[in-house]
Structure 1
């Protein structure tokens, strides 16, 4: 028997159908010599700190840095049932070969390997590596299974990334949360991303617009404009000199220009375009395209390539026809559809997966059945295929220069000669139809009379706030030097950048603001404050880009995992050892809540809310609830004074406590019995009678 493990149940079902494994069992399918089962995302992950030391449950500066000599793993909460099924299948004597059919990428490799290792499996490992969920692609993939050990370096890179994130995240989050008495989430990729947004926001706030002036001459048929002038007095002088004067044409330059078709989509460019044209977040786009992939309507989404391999040339005319038929163009339009395959074919620029394109399944699918988001993203993918294989967009540009005395004026005109690849998007209203601003016929030496002269004032513009479109671009290109041929750069990966943005928003370091379609990413006050106190080693996008590059080097075998983790560990140790609290930080992190005392677990502030008295550090978990049964059973109320005494001295005297057993009242001293568990316990001490 062969055991196939997919990443999701839906993918497993598609694979099982092709393999003929149709007999449904608890957590897997069986048939035709195969067991086909699945993970549900990460079934196994890095263990929490308490796995190494029970005392780590309580956050304490003296325990930092926490850097395990060897990492422990544990089953993800709520996924115990499926891991038990997989472990049983992996160790079934009937199984002689295990096939990794998780998503064909770094994260899919990690998901499978952690389960394989958790089950202590040592059976022959094969790898299914496909870029489409179509039946024919699955069938071909199983006919050409790869040796699983050939992907060891991809796994090492993924495991290294996971461990590095754990080391930085655990230590930096605890360090800064404890030092500044509130929950401050810090991450290896998350913090540099926030840093870019904070820096952009600060530049915009610091920007001071500079006025400039232009002289405009208009005779009703053509408008000429001067160069920008900084001084208003100088501009007014020029205006006086040009009033009631004529222009003399000094040169006419006609150039035919061409704009090449765009490349096919990789995940990042698709997310950017969906944000710009449709207003979708990066995470929404990823969810939509993942669903389309599982419905067999597009190829593998988590790709960083924008080209196809040479063996795909023959299917392009067929895919073009399906895309053209599926898209609802105006009926009166007829197309001579070009197929310039040489524009998109380059095997040398395809690594793990080729660019995102639609599949042949379009031929038998009514896309009107799709949810709006999926249909809109699939439309973009089909349009991009048509555009990428299309002809150049050609236009003629005319630049006319004229003089009024010694003042130089220009005007430009544009005439579209061939819409080319732009035609498709214009017809579906996904691109603005360009106005053809043609100029009247003019000749050198011609005199232009009756010009109305006026001065127009403008101002320099500040940098623009980040949208998800522009932030994704910044994340992708950080560390890139135009003068250096560099294969790897950027922070995060195409598959993780959407999640990073969502995490920053969920922990209140970032927020979306704007209208329905165009939303800007702005730092919260807490986000601004966090970047203010973070050292360069943690918040630098360039440092993180270098780390991402090294993870790629691990994947290619040019760097060992131990070297990389050693660097991460040393950086973290140095951070914990040398960091000093920023002076005046109480102004950066003002608390809106009344502080009752210090948390006995982590040292953060304990504040009062409607339900009780809780630690400001949300990950700590310390709380004294007002409706605590220990106090309500004694007909006592947990007051602010009692809590203050408990937090200050560990004890508090109670008078008039009710006994449920005797119905009488008594006096006693209550103290906290702190074990670090989910609930805080209390102990009573009774006064000794003389």
Structure 2
């Protein structure tokens, strides 16, 4: 008899097959040593679109809303039918008596496997492989200690609720607002509140009125510069400057020294890694996720999609050994170890480790050829190595000195810092020197006594209050992570918006849909809402754009995952909210002008305006079938794109001249594309040649 192992991706399946001895490559799977190892390709099975439930849903109409399926239907993705067919045959093979769900160890991995299992009609028993590392010994250990599938039923229920809630909000809200405002508007449970955050931030920046302030700076003979408080009135500051210049003597009233320390940063979870990679390297959240996922599959780091910055006590000995090996690998002298309290102790918190511990480098990494890695992966790995060593290092200790002096009846202060023990900052400096590119942060104050000292110079400095900063990917991820924390009752699990695994995709989707845009230089890019994004949020009701509601849902999904809430209760809430939304939403007054689509010409079929939308240029007349698709097959065959300039020429002149078109044989030629209409109004193209192909 054989055991069928189902991985999430072909690359992961290859790693499992190697360890299990399934070395014979077949069409869609590996076989050998009593194992069949196959794979999904992402989501093989997806929720069916509305028209599968009822053909009337092909046409969007408010009268047909809300769409709330009673019995959910699923379809096999058209692009992955072949692999689904392979899995179906394998699951029903007579010699297969049990199955191992080896998809990624998280909510989505659980959903991917179970939907395939159910869609194939399989009834055979299955168990769960749950890994935090792709190293060979971890894989062997995982297969020896497979988990019962029932332990993950609640995780699957949470995944189902998340998928179905997102479908219901997306389908109903997108159709509702698209019909109300007569254009295609994409609305999402997580996407829309995130967009709203950026719109609110930009509104605060636009409304900000800077206020000037003034300070007087005194250069003292003791060797430091002391500054006055911020003074709003220029004349008051000028009078103080004049008085100080007359006196030219300051009295040092007190010098206070206070020892301070900064604890090491915790280990990385996915979001903090994405934030650092954006801030220090300029990588987008999606780029960082792609890099660390590849590192995981190459056995160089542990599982990336984690929301924990800690390890369990079971892993403490492993981390201590890994730390010593990393120090040897990087030729860093280990710190003096306190025998009473292991240096790894502050990284241990079993309560804060749910599915997976923090992201760590693996021991396999120590033997790998890191120079062969792509630069992005090298940099992300360097961040993970540095953070691992920093987390187990001593605190950064320094002496903060505050000097207070008086002149012309006003107090002036100067601050200085002296390093007492560099601690974790020494690791940061040594390992991340090329990434940080940071200047000396600390300035020590010269020795001074409490007495009079001379003033070498006095000058007036002008400043002004700063507006809130535009969101970067770093700060937007942080805002998503902490959304609604202030409004949640004490003791409630604070999940923010989205999960570490989905936040990057949410940002990318907003950019792809044209609601957000990245602006700035290569390393520091800000995320700004477009006019389209601002318009969408202006017409959205509060409950759809509120971070509180979405964060509350995330908390409830976590409760379902833990078996603390019934899925039916959650889905009833979603149904009620969507029903109320459809019933109570009306077009906002004055919003039509705001949501006006860009008219680029006149329809050659019916004479009504043609407007630009996300996927093309459409006739405003809903009965007319004329459209110029942006992803146009006719233009693709010519090696060209149908862009705004080409669409404008076609609608204005009925023709557009194109240079350097490509024939099927690779030859180039010039030609004119002529636009006409089919009998039913659809666009039709033909070519007029200037010379032979």
Q: Which range, TM-score by smaller chain?
A: 0.7 to 0.9
TM-fit CA distance, 1:495:
0.1
TM-fit CA distance, 1:519:
0.4
Q: Do 2:603 and 2:619's aligned partners in 1 also have CA atoms closer than 8 Å?
A: no
Structural mapping, 1:305-344, within 5 Å: 305-327=308-330, 334=333, 336=335, 340-344=343-347
Cα 1:324–1:302, aligned 2, differ >3 Å: closer, same or farther? Answer: same
- The secondary structure found in structure 2 opposite 1:458 is strand
Q: Do 1:250 and 1:402's aligned partners in 2 also have CA atoms closer than 8 Å?
A: yes
TM-fit CA distance, 1:451:
3.8
Cα 1:302–1:608, aligned 2, differ >3 Å: closer, same or farther? Answer: closer
* Alpha-carbon distance between aligned partners in 1 of 2:125 and 2:633, rounded to the nearest angstrom: 56
1:278 to 269, 278, 281: 281
Aligned to 2:618: 614
Q: Do 2:609 and 2:619's aligned partners in 1 also have CA atoms closer than 8 Å?
A: yes
The worse-fitting range, judged by mean Cα deviation, of 468-477 and 586-595 is 586-595
Aligned to 1:467: 472
Structural mapping, 1:630-645, within 5 Å: none
Aligned to 1:676: none
Cα 1:370–1:608, aligned 2, differ >3 Å: closer, same or farther? Answer: closer
TM-fit CA distance, 1:670:
9.1
1:507 to 513, 517, 526: 513
Q: Which has the larger radius of gyration?
A: 1
1:359-412 residue CA offsets vs partner (Å, 9 max, x unmatched)? 010221010000011110000000011101111111111001111142111111
TM-fit CA distance, 1:607:
4.2
Aligned to 2:484: 479
* Alpha-carbon distance between aligned partners in 2 of 1:583 and 1:594, rounded to the nearest angstrom: 25
Q: Do 2:603 and 2:626's aligned partners in 1 also have CA atoms closer than 8 Å?
A: no
- The secondary structure found in structure 2 opposite 1:449 is strand
- The secondary structure found in structure 2 opposite 1:450 is strand
Cα 1:591–1:624, aligned 2, differ >3 Å: closer, same or farther? Answer: closer
TM-fit CA distance, 1:435:
3.7
Confirm whether residue 436 of structure 1 aligns to residue 442 of structure 2: yes
Structural mapping, 1:483-632, within 5 Å: 484-594=490-600, 596=602, 606-607=610-611, 614-615=618-619, 622-623=625-626
TM-fit CA distance, 1:567:
1.3
* Alpha-carbon distance between aligned partners in 2 of 1:623 and 1:113, rounded to the nearest angstrom: 42
- The secondary structure found in structure 1 opposite 2:506 is helix
- The secondary structure found in structure 2 opposite 1:376 is helix
TM-fit CA distance, 1:182:
1.6
- The secondary structure found in structure 1 opposite 2:96 is coil
TM-fit CA distance, 1:316:
2.4
Structural mapping, 1:236-255, within 5 Å: 236-245=238-247, 246-255=249-258
* Alpha-carbon distance between aligned partners in 1 of 2:562 and 2:110, rounded to the nearest angstrom: 15
TM-fit CA distance, 1:278:
0.5
Aligned to 2:219: 218
Aligned to 1:171: 172
Structural mapping, 1:286-305, within 5 Å: 286-305=289-308
Cα 1:217–1:640, aligned 2, differ >3 Å: closer, same or farther? Answer: closer
TM-fit CA distance, 1:143:
1.0
TM-fit CA distance, 1:613:
6.7
TM-align CA RMSD: 2.8
Aligned to 1:653: none
The worse-fitting range, judged by mean Cα deviation, of 482-491 and 457-466 is 482-491
* Alpha-carbon distance between aligned partners in 1 of 2:605 and 2:86, rounded to the nearest angstrom: 42
| TM norm structure 2 | 0.86
- The secondary structure found in structure 2 opposite 1:413 is strand
Structure 2 gap segments, 5+ residues each: 635-649, 655-676, 685-693
Aligned residues: 631
TM-fit CA distance, 1:439:
1.6
Aligned to 2:187: 186
TM-fit CA distance, 1:229:
1.3
TM-fit CA distance, 1:51:
0.5
Structure 1 gap segments, 5+ residues each: 630-638, 644-668, 674-678, 682-690
Aligned to 2:34: 33
* Alpha-carbon distance between aligned partners in 2 of 1:303 and 1:40, rounded to the nearest angstrom: 21
The worse-fitting range, judged by mean Cα deviation, of 172-181 and 291-300 is 172-181
Aligned to 1:416: 419
Cα 1:480–1:628, aligned 2, differ >3 Å: closer, same or farther? Answer: closer
Q: Do 2:603 and 2:651's aligned partners in 1 also have CA atoms closer than 8 Å?
A: no
Cα 1:546–1:161, aligned 2, differ >3 Å: closer, same or farther? Answer: same
Cα 1:115–1:395, aligned 2, differ >3 Å: closer, same or farther? Answer: same
Q: Do 1:244 and 1:452's aligned partners in 2 also have CA atoms closer than 8 Å?
A: no
Cα 1:307–1:212, aligned 2, differ >3 Å: closer, same or farther? Answer: same
1:484-511 residue CA offsets vs partner (Å, 9 max, x unmatched)? 2332320100000000000000000000
Aligned to 2:16: 15
Q: Do 2:625 and 2:680's aligned partners in 1 also have CA atoms closer than 8 Å?
A: no
